[in-house]
Structure 1
Amino acid sequence: MGIRLLIASLIIVGLAAVGVAKQDELLQWIDPAREPQFTPAQPGQAEQPGTEQAGARSDAAQQDDHGGQNPSAGGAEADDAASPAEPEPPTADEGEVVTVSNVQDVMVVVNKRRELPADYVPPDLVAPDIPFSFSGDAPKKLMRAEAAKALEQLFAAAAAEQIELAGVSGYRSYARQQEIFNWNAQQQGLEEANKTSAIPGQSEHQTGLAMDVSSPSVGYALVEEFGETKEGKWLAEHAPRYGFIIRYPKGKEAITGYSYEPWHLRYVGVKAAQEISEAGLTLEEYLGLAGNEGSKTKG
């Protein structure tokens, strides 16, 4: 006991010469019941190496949305990418959202006020025989049979006039749309995502009647500049002859609820397409449906 007290006295005398960081260690040796004190990590301190970011995903996974389409990044691989954590989707800005019942009608209207059932899958999906901006099989190559046949005729007419077009994104399931919306919400926040991608059930792609189209002149991207190219202008002029309309025309955002998309073709049949185009109407106006003021999402 006397020896231990002597050693303790010597240590206390020498504390002034010992770094502060060592004091607790030495005193713990004297009193084993004493716990060493640790300095907590400070806010902003780097995480341990090897930590992965949740939901990390390549840009190719966003190919079904607008802009930046990379034809080599298309394909089924991007569609099979893991989906990020699911946020709670926002509700419609104003008014009541109804579930449409005429899902098989080629004139069906789908937007932020009118949505498809979550389990709806068109029964007659086929892949049109047209060039695509990506290789391999993927559900987004599909369209309903009537629309697919009409699209083949449209592309044949374009090729005959040396207009090079390519399909980018057709049918999209409810689940796939959920993945896309979740990804955008994770990256941009819910409010911003609601301006650039459709909430599941509110995308025209689920009808099987829509196809996003682009060209090499814009790198197969889905961008507004496509409307100013010779291919985009040709498409807007000739699409109605084959039953297609530019679904979201410029200057009609307050009516459709969707921003201008010169790449988004929607099949409605030849008669309706020509009448809509000649009158400069939207599908909502043609059918006498209320607009979607305040909505800016895409379909």
Structure 2
Amino acid sequence: MNEKASPTAVGRVVALHVHPVKSLGGIAVADGRLELCGLEDDRRWMVTDPDGGFLTQRQVARMALVTVARGAGGGLVLALAGHGAQAVVRPPADGARRTVRVWADSVPAVDAGDAAAAWLTGALGRPCRLVYLHDVAARPADPAFAPPGATVGFADGFAVLVASRESLAALNRDLPSPVPMDRFRPNLVLEGAAPWAEDRWRLLAVGEALLRLVKPCSRCVVTTIDQQTAERPDPREPLATLARTRRAWGGVMFGQNAVVARPGRVAVGDAVRVLEEGPSNLVPA
């Protein structure tokens, strides 16, 4: 890997977020390990319909209200006001296998059992199952953007999502009402660079890890959902403003998708250094 002789310091990590279950509540952590498939424990679990199709806040906004805590032995504790809490044991690798779907990908997963399914069905108001991904190499990242060998868990497309506080502040200046960072559900939140500087970054050193930024992240209706209430205070925003200010090939963009070029531990407070840069990757639509 061709690292610059004099890497450029561009800021520091100010927040790390793990979302153990795709589209349920996240966990702020002080540190964690970046593996090839992403930040440890991030999006290794997923809620599906009975046929194995993935469910997100796009279909069930109420998913935002289900909190997730790490449990014993790699398990979880799910909770929702009015529904109590449910401990979930991580299923064994040789447990009941199901093929589940994430967009166009079919992925082998292990079912987390009837108790977890029954609790989620009651909490979300529709039949569903919970599955866990043991085989982290089973789902390659999009080869149109990611290098060979890059993998992803149950995240939409790539292992890591990087966002900038300065870019959020710039977006909020254009919005009728500001939105918090949790609307975008990033893994790493950085501070210290100019707004939208991340469009030009290609390779970052963060803690022990290296991250390769591969494409801007196209945003969907989830960004209109208040993550604390599951309501949509303005169903147009922030998408309408992003459509004016950040429209590009593939949609409207906020944050950068990344793959892990070198695994390692990262922590809040770590310096962020740019090892490679290029022209803006915000390609006009």
Larger Rg: 1
Query: 1 or 2, which has the higher helix percentage?
Result: 1
Query: 1 or 2, which has the higher strand percentage?
Result: 2
With a CA cutoff of 8 Å and minimum separation of 6, indicate the structure with the bigger relative contact order. 2
TM-score, normalised relative to structure 2: 0.29
